[in-house]
């Protein structure tokens, strides 16, 4: 579950209980049939209705900003931009010239409002039962126990001016293109559990983890004896579980295969996110000193991703090859590894990925090698 049921019900109650005349009335989305609606916004009618009402409530009760246009029209402009990276002709025709000219401002406003909902719709498991539930589902997928999520850097392409040489280089990531990067944790179902940071593309994922709110919490053991799955760009720690760089036996190989399997969930999640919200495939020009607007768009799309999953809205079909997870900075062989973390990982591998051979005793009962010892 991307966000707790009580939060969901509280939002629904607030929406239903608000007495404003705009709630539940016709909207500009009614002009589209269901197929056209999905093509234009990559969302379903019921999902869009919930998003529109949630935005309306937040603008009334939190931001207290007086909408410059009808809320449903502003949401239409933003959702269309998120879905395609530009406003469609069909949407621009409905806006009129004055509103069309102000669409960048509208997108910025709605992005800020939806990004402000992140605490409601992007939630890390905090209670004992929630943690156990997430860990149980992850173990069913890959066999690795006590894991609270998959950790990875999420890179989003931007344009940076090559004439500003120092700034341009800071945006170039490990795959050689200019990007900004955020830190994401997801669960085994592809729900986004945590989103932090908006940094230039050259930022190392370990640096983001060390300075992130969630990273400090987890490494200080505020969430208990759990792991998050991290790729080769992270240091092995007592709470970040990385693959074995050079497996020496079958157990370590099986562990690496399980690790890759659950990491693939993150690759699929980011692929789904970018297919539904194609604006994330190219976020336009960015400057190192002003990434707030880009950050709001990324956060808004992640909020909408979780809402779409709650409504079981499938993403559009893949148009091409899904981008791989970024390999990150490769650590040198001489780099010091935390011996306690290494011991903990070896114990996990031994307890969960070692096959125990068995045979039968004279009575026909299975006897393992451990029983013989």
Give the residue among 344, 350, 320, 153 at the shortest CA–CA distance from 249.
350
Do both 241 and 92 map to the same domain? no
Angle at 177 between CA 172 and CA 180, to 5 degrees: 60
In this structure, what are the phi and psi dihedrals at residue 261, rounded to the nearest 5 degrees?
Answer: -65, -45
Question: What residue spans of 96-155 are helical by DSSP H?
Answer: 97-101, 103-115, 118-121, 128-142
What are the tokens at 280? 């994330």
Q: Please give the pLDDT value at position 357.
A: 55
Could you give the number of structural domains in the chain? 2
Decide if 235 contacts 331 (C-beta within 8 A): yes
Q: Please give the pLDDT value at position 98.
A: 67
pLDDT of 18 > 70? The answer is no
Domain ranges, residue 256 = 124-290+313-352
| Within a domain: 219 | yes
Residue where a domain stops, chosen among 116, 132, 163: 116
Q: Please give the pLDDT value at position 208.
A: 96
Residue where a domain stops, chosen among 66, 81, 116: 116
| Within a domain: 2 | no
| Within a domain: 264 | yes
In this structure, what are the phi and psi dihedrals at residue 101, rounded to the nearest 5 degrees?
Answer: -65, -30
What are the tokens at 299? 């956060």
Give the residue among 322, 268, 279, 284 at the shortest CA–CA distance from 304.
279
Residue in this structure with the two tokens 């800071």, named with its chain if needed: 170
Q: How confident is the model at residue 320 (pLDDT cuts 50, 70, 90)?
A: low
Q: Please give the pLDDT value at position 241.
A: 98
Decide if 237 contacts 151 (C-beta within 8 A): no
Question: Do strands 240-241 and 227-229 pair parallel, antiparallel, or not at all (unpaired)?
Answer: parallel
pLDDT of 365 > 50? The answer is no
CA distance 151 to 164: 32
In this structure, what are the phi and psi dihedrals at residue 64, rounded to the nearest 5 degrees?
Answer: 55, 30
CA distance 55 to 65: 11
CB atoms < 10 A from the CB of 337, how many?
14
What are the tokens at 248? 């020496």
Do both 83 and 161 map to the same domain? no
Tell me the whole-structure pTM to 2 decimals. Answer: 0.88
In this structure, what are the phi and psi dihedrals at residue 247, rounded to the nearest 5 degrees?
Answer: -60, 135
What are the tokens at 64? 């207290």
| Within a domain: 189 | yes
Task: Give 90-136 pLDDT, tens digit per residue.
Answer: 888 777 766 767 888 899 999 999 999 999 999 999 999 999 999 99
| Within a domain: 15 | no
Question: What residue spans of 21-102 are helical by DSSP H?
Answer: 34-41, 45-58, 71-84, 89-95, 97-101
| Within a domain: 51 | yes
CA distance 303 to 280: 14
Task: Give 265-280 pLDDT, tens digit per residue.
Answer: 999 999 999 999 999 9
pLDDT of 205 > 80? The answer is yes
Do both 98 and 170 map to the same domain? no
State the average pLDDT for the chain.
86
Residue where a domain stops, chosen among 81, 116, 151: 116
Do both 184 and 222 map to the same domain? yes
Question: Do strands 240-241 and 366-368 pair parallel, antiparallel, or not at all (unpaired)?
Answer: unpaired
């Amino acid at each position: 579950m991307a966000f707790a049921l009580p939060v969901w019900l509280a939002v629904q109650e607030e929406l239903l209980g608000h007495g404003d005349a705009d709630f539940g009335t016709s909207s500009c989305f009614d002009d589209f049939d269901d197929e056209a609606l999905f093509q234009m916004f990559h969302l379903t009618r019921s999902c869009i209705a919930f998003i529109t009402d949630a935005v309306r409530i937040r603008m009334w009760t939190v931001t207290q900003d007086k909408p410059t246009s009808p809320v449903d029209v502003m949401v239409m402009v933003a959702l269309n931009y998120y879905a395609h990276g530009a406003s469609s002709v069909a949407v621009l025709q409905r806006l009129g010239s004055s509103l069309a000219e102000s669409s960048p401002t509208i997108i910025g406003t709605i992005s800020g409002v939806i990004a402000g909902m992140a605490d409601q719709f992007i939630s890390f498991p905090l209670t004992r039962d929630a943690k156990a539930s997430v860990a149980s589902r992850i173990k069913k997928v890959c066999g690795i126990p006590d894991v609270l999520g998959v950790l990875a850097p999420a890179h989003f392409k931007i344009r940076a001016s090559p004439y500003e040489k120092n700034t341009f280089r800071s945006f170039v990531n490990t795959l050689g293109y200019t990007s900004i990067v955020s830190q994401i944790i997801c669960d085994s179902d592809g729900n986004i559990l945590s989103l932090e940071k908006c940094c230039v593309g050259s930022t190392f994922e370990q640096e983001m983890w060390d300075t992130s709110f969630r990273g400090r919490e987890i490494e200080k053991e505020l969430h208990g004896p759990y792991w998050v799955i991290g790729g080769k760009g992270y240091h092995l720690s007592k709470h970040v579980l990385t693959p074995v760089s050079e497996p020496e036996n079958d157990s370590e190989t099986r562990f690496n295969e399980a690790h890759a399997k659950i990491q693939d969930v993150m690759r699929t999640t980011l692929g789904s996110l970018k297919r539904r919200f194609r604006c994330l495939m190219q976020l336009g020009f960015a400057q190192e000193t002003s990434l707030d607007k880009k950050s709001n768009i990324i956060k808004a799309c992640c909020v909408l991703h979780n809402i779409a999953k709650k409504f079981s809205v499938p993403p559009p079909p893949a148009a091409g090859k899904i981008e791989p997870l970024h390999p990150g900075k490769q650590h040198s062989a001489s780099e010091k590894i935390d011996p306690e973390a290494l011991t903990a990982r070896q114990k996990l591998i031994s307890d969960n990925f070692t096959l125990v051979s068995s045979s039968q005793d004279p009575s026909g009962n299975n006897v393992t090698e451990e029983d013989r010892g």
